[in-house]
Amino acid sequence: AGRKLVCHEETKQRLETYFKGREFGKSQLNQAMLPEGCTVFQNDHGTAPGCGFTTADGKVLVMLPGPPSELLPMLQNYVVPYLSQWAGGVIASTNIHAFGIGEGTAAEKIADLLQGENPTAATYALADEMYVRVTAKAATKEKAQMLCKPLAEKIRERLGDFVYGTDVANLEVVVVRELQKQGKMLATAESCTGGMLAERITDIAGASQVFHMGLVTYSNEVKSALVNVPENLLKEKGAVCPETAFAMAQGVRKKAGADFGIGITGVAGPKTSEGKPVGYILIALDDGQHTYLRTMTGKGGRKERNYLRHLAASNALDMLRRRLLGLPGIEQIAFTGH
C-alpha cells in the first residue's frame, strides 16, 4: 500500500506487559509493526492490533486480526467510528453486555427492537457471553448518543439481570468495582481452573484493594493442607463433588479472613475423572453465612480445555456479581456458552 512498517510504541509496550515472564521474541514483536501514519485499533480481546489508513489513490484500507472474538469487538468499537468520518454525520454506539444468556435467546427476547433503522440494534456472540450494540447517526455525537439511549434502555429491561454492564470492558471489571464500592475482600481456591479466576481479577487495576488471596489447590494433598478440605471427604467422595467445592470456598475465606471465598473444582479435560464427564465443574461461593453452588453439568457445549476453564471463571464472577447486587440466580444452572 506504499507505506513502510514502523514499530508502534504503545502496542509494543502492551505486548511486553502481556508477555512478561514468558518468551517474547521477533514473532511477537512483529505484531507491533504497523504501516507508518496509520490509525491503530487497540485489541481489547487479544494481542494483535488492527489499523486503518488512506492509500495514495484515496482508498481506505482497514486491517484486522482474524479470530472472530477479536475481530467483531474491534470492528464495532473502533472501525465503525473510524469509517464514520467518510459517511457524513456522526455515528455513536453503546454496547450492552450480558452473561448467562445465549445470543439466540437474547435475540428472541428483543426481536422487535432489532428492526429499527436509526438507531439500529444487533446481537453479537463472544466466547462465553454476548452483547447488543445500539448504533445511531446524527449531526453531532451528542445527538447520536441521545438517539441510542431509549432503545438501549428497552434492551436492558428485556434482558434483565443477565445484563452486567453497559460500555464496560468485561465482567471482572464490574465485579472488582462493586467489591471496591462495598469495601469487601475476596479469596479464591482453584483446582481445574488453575488460577485463571485470580488472574482475571488481578488484571484489573485496583484489584489489590479487594483481592486478598488466590490459591491453586490442584492436588488432594494441597486441598487438605492449604484450605482444610477433610481428608476423609476426599477419600470417600473425591475431589469433584459439591462437598469439596463447599469446603474449598469456606476454607479459603477463613484462611484469608475475607468476606467471600470461591472454590472451583471439576473436570476440564481432555479426559474424564472420577466418573465425571469433561466439562463437569462445580463452583462454590461462601459469604460466611451461606454457601452457594453453581454446576456446569458437562452436557453439550464446547469441550476445549481452556474454554471450559475460562467459562468456569466467568460463572464464578457472575455468582459473585449477583450476590453483591442482591440479584436472584446465584445457583442457577451454569451457563455453558454458545
- Average the pLDDT over 115-135 and give the result: 94
141: left (phi over 0), alpha (psi -120 to 50) or beta: alpha
Q: How many CA atoms within 13 Å lie on the side-chain side of 141?
A: 5
> Strands, DSSP E only, in the chain?
5-7, 33-35, 39-41, 50-54, 60-63, 90-98, 120-125, 130-138, 163-166, 186-190, 211-216, 260-266, 280-286, 291-297
Are residues 301 and 228 both part of a single domain?
yes
pLDDT of the residue at 333: 61
**Band (326; pLDDT cuts 50, 70, 90):** very high
Q: Are 315 and 335 in contact (CB under 8 A)?
A: yes
How is the beta sheet containing 130-138 ordered, strand by strand? 120-125, 130-138, 90-98, 163-166
pLDDT of the residue at 218: 96
Any domain includes 75: no
Q: How far is CA 242 from CA 24, 94, 247, 266, 285, in A?
A: 41, 40, 9, 10, 11
pLDDT of the residue at 338: 53
Q: Are 104 and 52 in contact (CB under 8 A)?
A: no
Give me 327's grid cell.
Answer: 440479584
Any domain includes 277: yes
Are residues 162 and 175 both part of a single domain?
no
Q: How far is CA 331 from CA 98, 319, 320, in A?
A: 17, 7, 11
What letter represents residue 214's amino acid?
G
Neighbouring residues of 328: CB distance < 8 A, sequence distance ≥ 6: 161, 322
**Band (159; pLDDT cuts 50, 70, 90):** very high
Are residues 321 and 198 both part of a single domain?
yes
Any domain includes 80: no
What letter represents residue 177's amino acid?
R
pLDDT digits (tens, 9 = 90+) for 16-51: 888 887 778 888 899 999 999 999 999 988 899 999
Domain containing 45 equals 1-67
- Average the pLDDT over 111-117 and give the result: 97
DSSP 8-class letter at 275? T
- Average the pLDDT over 247-268 and give the result: 98
- Average the pLDDT over 225-231 and give the result: 98
CB atoms within 10 A of CB 23: 7
Q: Among residues 142, 168, 194, which one ends one of the domains?
A: 168
* CATH number of the domain encompassing residue 43: 3.40.980.10
Any domain includes 145: yes
pLDDT of the residue at 217: 98
User: What percentage of the chain exceeds 70 in pLDDT?
Assistant: 98
